[in-house]
Amino acid sequence: MKKTVSLILVLVLGLIAPVANADFTFGEPTNPGPPVNSSYDEFGVCISANGLEFYFSSNRPGGYGGIDLWVMKRPTIEDDWGDPENLGLPANSQYSYWEPSISSDGLSLYFSDGHMRPDGSWPSYGNHLPGGLGGQGDIWMIMRETIHDAWGAPVNIGPAVNSRNAINPSISADGLSLYLQSHRSSQCYIMVATRESTSDSFGNPVILRNVNNNNNDGQWMPDISADGRVLFYNGIQELWMSTRATIYDDFGPTLRLPPQINISSHSSYGPSISSDGSTLYFASARPGGIGKDDIWQVSIEPAVDLNGDLKVDLADMHIMVDHWGENHSLCDIGPMPWGDGIVDAQDMIVLAEHFFEDYRLIAHWELDETEGSIACDSVGNNDGYVLGGAIWEPNGGQVGGAIRLDGVDGCIMATPVLNPAEGPFSVFAWVLGGAPGQMIVSGAAGTNWLSTDPLEGSLMTELTNAGQSGAPLLSETTITDGEWHRIGFVWDGSNGMLYVDDTVAAENAQDGLEGSFNGLYIGCGKNMQPGTYFSGMIDDVRIYNRAVKP
């Protein structure tokens, strides 16, 4: 991948660009499970800029008060999180600590204490620290000398911010803006307090323009992205966002996050965006959790398929180069998913990281494993189980590694991927060896998708019209000659085509295929019959839910 990135950057190195905004998409929310979540409440996430510390609020056992601050750590961003650790005394105490937000240098942690409910009613959410200035919830901070030191005692951030209700802080990456929630005139507002330098105190907070909608529900729990261009927050019981062109502009129109995040039956609250913009964290008591309020996460992906053909290739690169230097919303995809206001090498790097991705793929067994009994599906949820006489060949494949099957009982068994009768589809694989009458891909208790004919070892398929009494589609191209061959079958809804080495080897008219939605076998026949097991190597098996040309 480094070679790909370097090659593309060479092509565009001399170009410059000013402003654009990109499209991006949200994935499906997932619950990270233990040790992040427990049978108690977890909420109020913030992650350090280096990605190595994960702070949150919880009432789990082992704390000092009703709601404490906790942290999980990891050595590198590739490692799993360690067990939660209570920040301990004097950072925590018998009082309540809500919605932490850590500075970009990792040396200051802001939070709010116990406070009134969003509608201004009491009893409050927890008990507030003594020495507060607003009386209805204050913002505090704890500090440490280095990221390896323990946190100190809470310090009130001062009267300009805390003269009235001020809670749920979010500190900007430069440390000069503090976004917060304040209950004023019977409504919750999102406000921002600023300062000239990090050694100064924050000034009086002001209400953000265009974000507050002036209804009684109000806006809560703001979280500002590291680049300062996207604000996530709560409105009613849902998550919203607003963007702006630069940090010097007002935020634009508000946008409700999609329904997989805002489900109707359960609230989502407390958004927190990772420093690279790739993951949004939030709290919810929705189904699928393991406690009361759990922490959830959802990915944010840049829209890198610029021409909408469901694959990322040179055509997309050409589009980006064509709009280099323009104010073009399509091509500003990095370094954040929503871009950075300039179409430049950062965007080309993001595009290169997704190069050769094919969104038509619904299953892809790369077969590059080095050990174990699982053949991973790299794009779907159809991991296969390796059975019988099978050996991984990490350096022996046509595309990376491959699996060698013994022709006796070695095969891969996977869950159902698609029903061939439901619409156009394609299946491709690399094969080496084999013998006449052996199967490469088949539907369990269904139909043999790709196989060799029993006389010459030529590629054939039994996928035919429902109820058709004619012979299977048979090519005249032998694939059992001891050479690597890329084989495939494509059905476009009207015609079936066999491919050998990316060339049509046989075709016929088929207006439909016999249905089958059982499991899938790689390397043996539809019922695992003796004599159908493949004796050779198989590599890079791909299934598409569209008719594709190799």
pLDDT in tens, 25-47: 898 999 999 999 999 999 999 99
Please give the pLDDT value at position 423: 87
Average pLDDT, the chain: 88
Of residues 131, 61, 72, 124, the one with CA closest to residue 98: 124
Cα-Cα-Cα-Cα torsion 43, 47, 51, 54, nearest 10 degrees, comes to -50
| Domains annotated on the chain, with CATH | 2-19+304-353 (no CATH), 29-302 (2.120.10.30), 362-544 (2.60.120.200)
Q: What percent of the chain has pLDDT over 90?
A: 67
pLDDT greater than 90 at residue 18: no
pLDDT greater than 70 at residue 6: no
Please give the pLDDT value at position 13: 33
Which strands make up the sheet holding 42-47, listed edge to edge? 42-47, 53-58, 68-73, 85-86
Please give the pLDDT value at position 226: 97
pLDDT greater than 80 at residue 469: no
Q: What tens digit of pLDDT does each residue of 180-219 get? A: 998 876 678 899 999 999 999 999 999 998 888 745 567 8
Query: In 354-455, which residue ranges form alpha helices assigned H by DSSP?
Result: none
- HSE-CB for 141 with a 13 A CA cutoff: 21
Interacting residues of 534 by C-beta distance below 8 A, sequence separation 6+: 405, 407, 410, 411, 431, 433, 434, 438, 439, 440, 523, 524
Of residues 61, 114, 116, 70, the one with CA closest to residue 92: 70
Confidence of residue 265 (pLDDT cuts 50, 70, 90): confident
For residues 100-108, average pLDDT: 98
Which strands make up the sheet holding 177-184, listed edge to edge? 167-171, 177-184, 187-194, 206-207
Please give the pLDDT value at position 128: 79
CB atoms within 10 A of CB 164: 16
Strands in 249-324 per DSSP E: 254-256, 268-273, 279-284, 294-302
pLDDT greater than 60 at residue 4: no
Of residues 144, 148, 155, the one with CA closest to residue 111: 155
User: Kind and range of the H or E element at 103?
Assistant: none
Confidence of residue 313 (pLDDT cuts 50, 70, 90): very high
Please give the pLDDT value at position 131: 85
Please give the pLDDT value at position 505: 96
pLDDT greater than 60 at residue 501: yes
Q: What tens digit of pLDDT does each residue of 118-164 get? A: 555 544 566 778 888 866 789 999 999 999 999 999 999 999 999 77
Please give the pLDDT value at position 217: 62
Confidence of residue 536 (pLDDT cuts 50, 70, 90): very high
Please give the pLDDT value at position 129: 87
β-bridge partners, 395: none
Q: What tens digit of pLDDT does each residue of 415-459 get? A: 999 888 888 999 999 999 999 999 999 998 788 999 999 999 999
Highest mean pLDDT among 31-35, 115-119, 174-178 belongs to: 174-178
Please give the pLDDT value at position 216: 52
β-bridge partners, 4: none
For residues 314-336, average pLDDT: 91
CA distance 169 to 180: 5
CA distance 110 to 181: 13
Q: What tens digit of pLDDT does each residue of 332-346 get? A: 999 999 998 889 999
Please give the pLDDT value at position 524: 96
∠ CA 159-162-167, nearest 5°, is: 160
The residue among 10 and 525 whose pLDDT is bigger is 525
Task: Write the Ramachandran bin of 434: left for phi over 0, alpha for psi from -120 to 50, otherwise beta.
Answer: left
pLDDT greater than 70 at residue 17: no
For residues 165-171, average pLDDT: 91
* pTM attached to this predicted model: 0.74
CA distances from 401 to 78, 397, 435, 487, 540 (A): 23, 4, 21, 17, 9
User: Three-state SS for 157?
Assistant: coil
Please give the pLDDT value at position 9: 33
Please give the pLDDT value at position 466: 61
Please give the pLDDT value at position 153: 96
Contact (Cβ atoms closer than 8 angstroms) between residue 433 and residue 536: yes
Please give the pLDDT value at position 119: 55
Structure-block tokens of residue 132: 């507060």
Please give the pLDDT value at position 285: 92
Is the bond leading into 123 cis (omega within 30 degrees of zero)? Answer: yes
